[in-house]
Amino acid sequence: MAALREQFAALPPDAPVRLGKRTSNLFRFRPPATGPRLDAAPFDRVLAVDPVARTAEVEGMVTYERLVEATLRHGLMPLVVPQLKTITLGGAVSGLGIESSSFRSGLPHESVLEMEILSGDGRVVLARPDGEHADLFGTFPNSYGTLGYALRLTIELEPVSPYVRLRHLRFGGAAEGCAAIAAICAAGEHAGQRVDFLDGTVFGPDELYLTLGTFVDAAPEVSDYTGMGIYYRSLREREVDYLTVADYLWRWDTDWFWCSRAFGVQHPAVRRVWPRRWRRSDVYRRIVALDRRWRLSARLDRLRGRPEQEAVVQDVEVPVERTAEFLDFFHSEVGITPVWLCPLRLRAAHSWPLYPLDPGELYVNVGFWSGVPLPPGASDGFHNRRIEHVVNELGGHKSLYSTVHYPEDEFWRRYNGAAYATVKQSYDPDARLPDLYDKCVRLT
Same structural domain, 175 and 66: no
CA 211, 214, 217, 220 dihedral sign is negative
Q: What is the DSSP letter of 40?
A: -
User: 272, 229 in Cβ contact below 8 A?
Assistant: no
CATH of the domain at 340: 3.30.70.2520
Residue 72 is assigned to a structural domain of this protein: yes
33 pLDDT exceeds 70? no
Domain count, the chain: 3
* 323: in domain: yes
CATH assignment at residue 433: 3.30.465.10
Under a CB-based contact definition with an 8 Å cutoff, are residues 79 and 101 in contact?
yes
CA-nearest of 408, 398, 402 to 438 is: 408
- Positions of E strands within 262-337: 309-319
Examine the domain organization and report whether 156 and 172 are in the same domain. Answer: no
Minimal CA–CA distance to 232: which of 88, 101, 83? Answer: 83
**Do 312 and 375 belong together in one domain?**
yes
Distance CA 398, CA 392 (A): 9
pLDDT tens-digit series, residues 322-350: 999 999 999 999 999 999 999 999 998 99
Claim to verify: residue 83 and residue 188 sit in the same structural domain: no
**Is there a domain that residue 335 lies in?**
yes
Amino acid 345: pLDDT: 98
Residues 408-430 have pLDDT tens digits of 999 999 999 999 999 999 999 99
- Give residue 205's pLDDT: 98
Determine the Cα–Cα distance for residues 353 and 334; give it in Å rounded to an integer: 31
- The three-state DSSP-derived secondary structure of 12-35 is CCCCCCCEECCCCCCCCCCCCCCC
pLDDT single digits (tens) 381-394: 999 999 999 999 99
Q: What residues make up the domain containing 182? A: 163-251
For the stretch 65-121, pLDDT in tens is 999 999 999 999 999 999 999 999 999 999 999 999 999 999 999 999 999 999 999
What's this model's pTM, rounded to 2 decimal places?
0.96
Q: In b/e form, how buried is each residue of 182-220, taking b as 16+ CB within 10 angstroms?
A: eebbeeeebeeeebbbbbbbbbeeebbbbbbbbbeeebe
Per-residue confidence (pLDDT) for residue 13, from 0 to 100: 80
Q: Based on the domain organization, do 137 and 185 belong to the same domain? A: no
Q: Is residue 20 part of a domain?
A: yes
- State whether 171 and 319 are in the same domain: no
Residues 346 and 303 in one domain: yes
**CB of 285 within 8 A of CB of 24?**
yes
pLDDT of residue 192 exceeding 90, the answer is yes
Q: Are residues 233 and 299 in the same domain?
A: no
Would residue 120 count as lying in a domain?
Answer: yes
Helix (H) or strand (E) holding 372: strand 363-373
pLDDT of residue 304 exceeding 90: no
Decide if pLDDT at 32 tops 70. no
Which value, in Å, is the radius of gyration of the alpha carbons in the chain?
A: 21
For residues 217 and 93, membership in a common domain is answered with: no
Please give the average per-residue pLDDT across 339-368, as a whole number: 97
Average pLDDT along the chain? 95
